[in-house]
Structure 1
Amino acid sequence: MIPDENRFHSDPDQLVGDRPGLPDGWTVGQPDPADRFDVARLTHLLRAHERDGRGWAGSGVDDVLVEVSERGLRMRENVVVRDPDGDIHAWGSVHDRSVGRMLFVHIVQRDLPDEVADACSDVLFTWAEGQARAVGSARGLPVQQIDTGAFEGDERQARWLRDAGFERVRRWWQMSRPVEPGEKDLVPDPERWEADGVVFRLVRRAGSGLPDEDDLREVHEVLEGAFVDHFNSSEETFEEFLFRLREDPGHRWDHWWLAELVDGDRPQPVGALIGTVSESSSGPDGSYVSYLGVLEAARGRGVAKGLLRTIIADAALRGRDRVGLEVDADSPTGAAGLYTSMGWATKYVTESWHRDVPVS
């Protein structure tokens, strides 16, 4: 269930305390989502962080608002470091993602003097450690994981993470595949088609236009079952799952597909794909595979490949020019082989860094 109240501490001073190393007059506080200057500054910091880490920026204002808006703050908390003029130079965000797993965004302005940047980084880590204890305590856990990331090759970020006690635990290939207009015919109809005893279809829509709740629960159950043995999987309630996915700026209900075996007495959901829109300001939009899961009992039936062909055909019908996805570089499932065989190639690489914080 989504909690009625945020599980985090809302007062940064309770967690950070003295801030040695920050220049005189610099302060620690919270961003104001109603202040367009704060939102613009956070967007600038995020985009600069992306450009330096992977060579280009893809985020925008909507991605910032996911973290700092009133709705987002039901499951998140934020901290910023300001200079005497009120300009923001560092930003931290934590997300109560699921049981035992707290996501952490750590961004420090790229062109600060080293000693000031290090001091800002220390503030963010101290704050995040305190938030981990707060959310872990609220969930009744003995240990709370902090899960953060870095772009491969970002030595400054890696140094800070190592010094703060984090361990690099995983690499992720961020892959993309071009889409050609003629690929709209990859499947008979992306809304519903059938092959070899498997039906691929969009989640049903109720009379109100909203998706059928039973279908949404089937998607959740399939993904929970498909990923139960995967790296860093953690339990997420249906309410948490739905709340989080709807926050994505690219969320669209008509990008959710189910795959069902229909060669038995009744349809059996065995696969699910959740897609989103990757909007572009300088060309065609793209589609993105946020989740793709197939239950173990149905593997070998062409379910994953059928779902991927479906989103490719859907993208072509919509005039999009690419489909992106993320794959675990260390996964033993061989998923990367399927993706490369279908035309995906790695665009850049990210890393997961974890730290386990005892909750006292």
Structure 2
Amino acid sequence: MSSPDVAPSHAALPAGWTAQEPTGDDVPDLVRLLRQHEKEARGWPGADSEQVAADVTGKGAVTRRHWLIRDPEGAARAWVSCHDRAAGRVLVGVTVDPDLDPAQAEPVATHCFALAERTSGEIARDRGLAATQMDSGAFQDDDRQDRWLKDAGFKHVRTWWQMERPVTAQDATDHPQPREGVVVHRVRRDDAVGLPDEEDLHAVHEILEESFADHFNNYRETFEEFLDRLRADPGHRWDHWWLADVDGAPAGALVGTTVTGRLDPAGNPVPDGSYVEYIGVHSSARGRGVAKALLWAVIADAAARGRNRVGLEVDADSPTGADGLYSSMGWKTVYVTESWHKDVEAPAG
């Protein structure tokens, strides 16, 4: 195994500390660090070791850069992640050990955010852009993370409700049928090769791009970027993708995933769940009950698989009133997150 790259110097770390690109051997430390942060900031750990491994060394690694910070004793103390999400947008994660003494945590956090800014600028340069948006997040009421984001020049721009709906076995069959003219089906598969139908995949992409065009902070992705990103998720399953046809033409789409590896507040494993990554309805078909039909499809599917919940995220400031639909169908907010943004210029050269 080749030696990991060493991070360039920024806002110096304490003496004896190091910042290097993590390898597969570091994944357990990264998972432990992330779970410690989640437990402190949200109340329970939820990081999935499969997801972390995919992001660091698996399919998702090609669009991400990471730095792992260790103290002089070799303990993992912080993690910087920069995801080249789309042209002009970099998702930034900075995780600092909540058990770290404040006198050490402060310079470590400063170093991490400076490192994230440099890396984001380099991603913009490599894409041929003059600048990019750094898009980071925090759990609501995580005062330490909020303060560090402010100090690094980020602004709080949005709040998100993380919602879940419990699922029972009865939901597999006991639910309303779609309205007249609306037919929901899974993305078709080519039986000869076992791959999803190309036409259906393009329909999903086009519907989602159109339906999210006027949503907050939307960035267009090419069809190839869209597929590559979603397929890199360990929870990806082709049989979790649905289309809704309205009067015979595709007009709604839902992309779901499997949620594994979650722990309860006591640290015990939680059964697998389903998650709605994306749901969109073409503007020409709104008001036909398409979104509700798609949501009932994923609820019924989760019930048939013996799962106990379906999760999703909703923009707390969305003008569409989507939260009203979710609430009426049994979803409740279980925790709240925030988006923080900062624009950064690409370095010369």
1:339 aligns with 2:336: no
Matches within 5 A, 1:295-310: 295-310=282-297
Which position in structure 2 is the counterpart of 1:206? 190
1:235 aligns with 2:235: no
Matches within 5 A, 1:267-346: 267-279=248-260, 282-346=269-333
Q: Name which of 146, 152, 162 aligns with 1:164.
A: 152
Give the TM-score of the pair, scaled to structure 1: 0.90
| Structure 1 position 27, deviation (Å) | 1.2
Q: Name which of 140, 144, 163 aligns with 1:175.
A: 163
Instruction: Count residues in correspondence.
Output: 337
Matches within 5 A, 1:181-220: 181-186=169-174, 195-207=179-191, 208-220=193-205
Greater CA drift, 196-205 or 208-217? 208-217
**Aligned residues with identical type, % of pairs:** 54
Contact 2:178-2:289 within 8 A present in 1 as well: no
Greater CA drift, 160-169 or 277-286? 277-286
Which position in structure 2 is the counterpart of 1:134? 122
Contact 1:171-1:329 within 8 A present in 2 as well: yes
Q: Distance in 2 between matches of 1:18 and 1:215?
A: 47
Runs of 4+ in 1 over 4 A off after TM superposition: none
In structure 2, runs of 5+ residues without a counterpart are 263-267
1:93 aligns with 2:74: no
Q: Distance in 2 between matches of 1:257 and 1:305?
A: 13
Pairwise CA RMSD:
1.7
Contact 2:211-2:282 within 8 A present in 1 as well: yes
SS of equivalent residue, structure 2 residue 258 = strand
Give the TM-score of the pair, scaled to structure 2: 0.92
Q: Distance in 2 between matches of 1:161 and 1:12?
A: 24
1:89-134 CA distance string (max 9 Å, x none): 1100110001111001110011111121111111111111111211
Which position in structure 1 is the counterpart of 2:60? 72
1:117-174 CA distance string (max 9 Å, x none): 1111111111111112111122222220000100000000000000000000000000
Contact 1:186-1:310 within 8 A present in 2 as well: no
In structure 1, runs of 5+ residues without a counterpart are 1-9
Amino acid at match of 1:270: A
Greater CA drift, 271-280 or 93-102? 271-280
Contact 1:179-1:321 within 8 A present in 2 as well: yes
| Structure 1 position 194, deviation (Å) | 5.7
1:240-286 CA distance string (max 9 Å, x none): 11111112221111000001112xxxx32111001111225735321
Which position in structure 2 is the counterpart of 1:25? 16
Assess, with a 3 A threshold, how the Cα gap between structure 1 residues 103 and 197 changes in structure 2: closer, same or farther.
same
Which position in structure 1 is the counterpart of 2:134? 146
Q: Distance in 2 between matches of 1:134 and 1:162?
A: 22
